[in-house]
A and B are shown apart, each in its own frame.
Chain A
């Protein structure tokens, strides 16, 4: 086998072209179906499958049907389910595990300390926004600065 740098580059270039062609072919041929949530039943089912012991309670879906929030029965944990093309990505958080929460009317930006899912934006309808906003705030981490400040205050 010719293992000169030029030959290796040629092999890599052809491989890259083949990869591109396969992706285009996959897109053209179709065959997958994007997930859209109609109600909270599918997100609830996914959470119960993905997280052993999670018992889904009340849920709400985003206006675009691409995300859902589901409280655990007893409200100890909050489940988040995101539609990603034809699959779902789930996260379950305890109080303090949302890094930051920003609210802009009924739109929420949820920040996680998660390298592959650092931020999620979810649009709720106006009727749900206030109640679910308050629920989500229970799961937001107190900032280190605030915690350190409280510590100093107690120490002094």
Chain B
């Protein structure tokens, strides 16, 4: 087994240097923005994520070491295995990320990354603290190990994927040459992913290759006429890292404990974020449908069928919690 470096550890000094460079660029050009309280919250979440990795990382590692004995093949360490592993890992990342947006249990973890209303390189480091406890790695991380890729290789390409995703969290890069924008996840594509404009909600889940979104119908190009508004549908009223970390978990506990039936409890736990038994809250699907109806009305057209179907309560409101 070759001695593999830790790409994230190597990248950390570059992360810091690039954040400083973007801060200076933002100050000089006004084309990006950092605000100290937001930056502090994002970086505190990043630091906490590192600590939690040290404390909780063994959970996933223990699982992968257990299932390794059931691997179908022994793929080994050939150079092409790294390439195949990287591409397959990115494919799995797409689905893992998509489920992180559509299953509230996993969204409660991932929402932390989306909870800043700013979009700069510090936002890339705003990461959750409790990921191993969601057990998402069992559902999406096991496949490559079961195929026969070495655990260390899977961890290595996964880290490369994360390092790639750092630099795309910026407003400093507008658009790259068309072939790059076609194949890769870029700052433009990922700005769309972080935006709360109804047109942009739940789009562009890709890690490295944007082709997965193109293939599975979740791609949305950034439009000049639709400037990105960043954050989450109900933006946080706090910079407190503990509250940022726990807010959606607290919401789940409140909702599940007040559910009137087992089915409702299950919906609050594993349904899409914003799900409620009577449809009176706003899931992304409902927001998008209502927005589509509004746009159609503006143009004097009938609303699309899928919009009418997804918008069950026309007068539904955003609940206070």
Give every chain A residue within 8 A of B309 (Cβ-Cβ).
none
CA–CA, A121 and B118, complex, Å: 25
CA–CA, A93 and B233, complex, Å: 14
Taking a contact as CB atoms under 8 Å apart, the answer to whether B23 and A26 are in contact is: yes
Complex partner residue of A93 from B35, B290, B320, CB under 8 angstroms: B320
Distance (Å) between the CB of B26 and the closest chain A CB? 5
Given contacts A49-B229, A87-B118, contact A99 B320 (CB under 8 A): yes
Taking a contact as CB atoms under 8 Å apart, the answer to whether B23 and A29 are in contact is: yes
Taking a contact as CB atoms under 8 Å apart, the answer to whether B51 and A12 are in contact is: yes
Taking a contact as CB atoms under 8 Å apart, the answer to whether B23 and A52 are in contact is: no
B88 within 8 Å of A (CB atoms): no
Q: Can you list 12 residue pairs at the A/B interface with Cβ under 8 Å?
A: A12-B50, A15-B12, A22-B23, A26-B35, A27-B36, A31-B26, A50-B233, A52-B198, A53-B294, A89-B237, A90-B235, A97-B320
Give every chain B residue within 8 A of A31 (Cβ-Cβ).
23, 26-27, 30, 33-34
Give every chain A residue within 8 A of B290 (Cβ-Cβ).
52-53
Given contacts A32-B34, A93-B320, contact A19 B237 (CB under 8 A): no
Give every chain A residue within 8 A of B24 (Cβ-Cβ).
29
B185 within 8 Å of A (CB atoms): no
Give every chain A residue within 8 A of B27 (Cβ-Cβ).
29-31
CA–CA, A6 and B159, complex, Å: 23
Q: How would you classify the secondary structure of chain B's contact residues: helix, strand, loop or mixed? A: helix
Give every chain A residue within 8 A of B130 (Cβ-Cβ).
none
Residues of A near any B CB (own CB < 8 A): 1, 8, 11-12, 15-16, 18-19, 22-23, 25-27, 29-32, 49-53, 76-77, 82, 84-94, 97-99, 112-117, 120
Residue of A nearest to B320 (CB): A97
CA–CA, A30 and B244, complex, Å: 24
Give every chain B residue within 8 A of A49 (Cβ-Cβ).
229
CA–CA, A27 and B43, complex, Å: 14
Distance (Å) between the CB of B270 and the closest chain A CB? 20
Residues of B near any A CB (own CB < 8 A): 5-6, 9, 12, 16, 19-20, 23-24, 26-27, 30, 33-40, 43-44, 46-47, 50-51, 54, 117-118, 122, 196, 198, 229, 231, 233-238, 243-244, 246-247, 250-251, 287, 290-291, 294, 315, 317-321
Give every chain B residue within 8 A of A97 (Cβ-Cβ).
317, 319-320
**Besides A84-B237, A88-B235, A116-B247, 8 other CB < 8 A contacts?**
A22-B16, A23-B40, A29-B23, A31-B30, A97-B319, A97-B320, A115-B243, A115-B321
Complex partner residue of B50 from A15, A84, A94, CB under 8 angstroms: A15
Taking a contact as CB atoms under 8 Å apart, the answer to whether B247 and A23 are in contact is: no
Taking a contact as CB atoms under 8 Å apart, the answer to whether B318 and A92 are in contact is: yes
Residue of B nearest to A99 (CB): B320
Give every chain A residue within 8 A of B291 (Cβ-Cβ).
52
Taking a contact as CB atoms under 8 Å apart, the answer to whether A51 and B43 are in contact is: no
Residue of A nearest to B30 (CB): A31
Complex partner residue of B321 from A8, A26, A112, CB under 8 angstroms: A112
Distance (Å) between the CB of A32 and the closest chain B CB? 4
Q: Taking each of A30, A53, A85, which has the highest tally of chain B beta carbons within 10 Å of its own beta carbon?
A: A53
Give every chain B residue within 8 A of A90 (Cβ-Cβ).
235
Taking a contact as CB atoms under 8 Å apart, the answer to whether B30 and A18 are in contact is: no
Residue of A nearest to B29 (CB): A31
Distance (Å) between the CB of A21 and the closest chain B CB? 8
Residue of B nearest to A120 (CB): B237
Give every chain B residue within 8 A of A12 (Cβ-Cβ).
47, 50-51, 54
Residue of B nearest to A19 (CB): B43
CA–CA, A15 and B51, complex, Å: 11
